[in-house]
Structure 1
Amino acid sequence: MAVDISNLIIATPVAVSATNPVALELNGAEAIARFPSVVTVLSDGSIQFSAPTKGASSKSTRRTRCEWTETQSWTLASAQNHWNRQTMALTKVNAALKVVIAQMHVRGDDSPPVKVFWKKGDITLGFRQTYDQPDPVNSTVLKGVPLGAKFDVSIHTTRDGLVTVTASCNGVSGSSGGLQLDSSWASRLFEFHGGVYNQVDYTDATPADDGSICIISELSLLHD
């Protein structure tokens, strides 16, 4: 099934311009047309996202990404259920062996409630119960997800702020169990993200060939 990113925004590892080094964000269809080496439509309709470790990043970090994000923000109370489902495979990972693959991000803040990682072959989770909580609580959702293996990963959040992250690979499944957001999140605006976001800072010494690549073969975003 073809993956449609035409109604999503893509954060790329490409600079806005020669004089503006900040990472370019643009519509999915435009990203495919302008930067096919970064956002690539494969023959089966899957989409490959590539993020070299050394590239353009946001103003606040030295970490690169090739991530999709929703164009419309939402509150917990705007729907009974909020779903972010991806079927994907990581074909390459940076030297730190750690990359963000999915997020429930909060508008206007760099401390999201839910961040899902591929870390050294495991799917792990960082969860913040409270808005602006300095450090997330980390846990492992699923062990044994090798490079190249197709896996499913989902974030489900209810209007009451109950979050569940699940993952499955090669017939084995794992779950975070229910994680409760407190009332400090009730008025906040959220967007789901996915793709690859390198968890290593680039330096002048970072090899040009270091980076992360994922292939997304199914993507479903639902608020119902």
Structure 2
Amino acid sequence: MTVNINNLTLTTPLPTSAKNPVALEMKGSEAIAKYPSIIKVLDDGSVQLSAPTKGASSKSTRRTRCEWSESTNWTLASATEHLNRQTMRLTKVNSAHKVVVSQMHVRGDDGPPVKVFWNKGSLTLGFRRTYNQATPTNMTVLENVPLGAEFTVTLQATAQGQITVTAKCNGASGSCGPLQFDKTWSSQRFEFHGGVYNQVDQTETTPADDGSICIISTLSLTHR
């Protein structure tokens, strides 16, 4: 099945320019055409995303990513159900063995309400019940997700602010939720993200070959 990220926004581990070290963002179609070293469509239609640990990052972090995001924001009340379903596998992971693979992000804030991590062979979740909550509540969605194994992560948000995260791998499944947002999220605007976002800070001694690579074989984003 072909994964179409042409109209999504891709955040890359490349600098915006020689004078601007902040991570370059562009449409998926443009990134595929210009930067095959970090994003490429494979023969079977799946998409490979690569994020070396040493590279360009956003202003608020020293961590790199190669991550798609929706180009249009939405509110919880704009649809009965918001769904992000991504099937993928990690073919390489950074030295910390921890990488964000899926997110529900909020516009204009560094504290996303939902983050799904591949963390040393398990899929774990960080959840913020309240907007701008300093420390998320952490929980395990699914254990025994080996490096190289295909897995599916589904993020579901309802108009009432109920969040459910499910995962499947090698015939096993796990779920967290429904988790309830409080009312502080009701006026916020969101977008789904996915791919690889390294959870290790780069330093001057970071090896050039350290980083994470994923292959996304199916991707479905719906708001209905």
Query: Scaled by the length of structure 2, what TM-score is found?
Result: 0.99
Counterpart for residue 101 of structure 2: 101
- Structure 1 runs (4+) deviating above 2 angstroms are none
1:162 equivalenced with 2:162 (yes/no): yes
Q: State the aligned residue count.
A: 224
The 5 A counterparts of 1:122-201 are 122-201=122-201
Give 5+ residue unaligned stretches, structure 1. none
User: 1:72 aligns to what SS in structure 2?
Assistant: coil
1:88 equivalenced with 2:91 (yes/no): no
Task: After superposing the two structures, state which structure 1 stretch, 202-211 or 16-25, moved more.
Answer: 16-25
AA at the equivalent of 2:88: M
The 5 A counterparts of 1:27-106 are 27-106=27-106
Cα displacement (A) at 1:7:
1.1
Distance in 2 (alpha carbons) for counterparts of 1:22 and 1:75: 28
Distance in 2 (alpha carbons) for counterparts of 1:217 and 1:119: 21
1:25 equivalenced with 2:60 (yes/no): no
AA at the equivalent of 1:139: M
| 1:101-129 deviation digits (Å, cap 9, x = unpaired) | 00000000000110000000000000000
| 1:73-113 deviation digits (Å, cap 9, x = unpaired) | 00000000000000000000000000000000000000011
AA at the equivalent of 2:139: S
Distance in 2 (alpha carbons) for counterparts of 1:22 and 1:115: 22
Cα RMSD for the two superposed structures:
0.4
| 1:107-158 deviation digits (Å, cap 9, x = unpaired) | 0000011000000000000000000000000000000000110000010000
User: 1:29 aligns to what SS in structure 2?
Assistant: helix
Distance in 2 (alpha carbons) for counterparts of 1:144 and 1:177: 20
AA at the equivalent of 2:53: T
Distance in 1 (alpha carbons) for counterparts of 2:75 and 2:46: 30
Distance in 2 (alpha carbons) for counterparts of 1:22 and 1:112: 20
AA at the equivalent of 1:10: L
Cα displacement (A) at 1:68:
0.2
Cα displacement (A) at 1:12:
0.2
Counterpart for residue 4 of structure 1: 4
1:205 equivalenced with 2:210 (yes/no): no
Cα displacement (A) at 1:177:
2.2
AA at the equivalent of 1:184: T
AA at the equivalent of 2:79: A
Distance in 2 (alpha carbons) for counterparts of 1:112 and 1:12: 19
Distance in 2 (alpha carbons) for counterparts of 1:169 and 1:131: 31
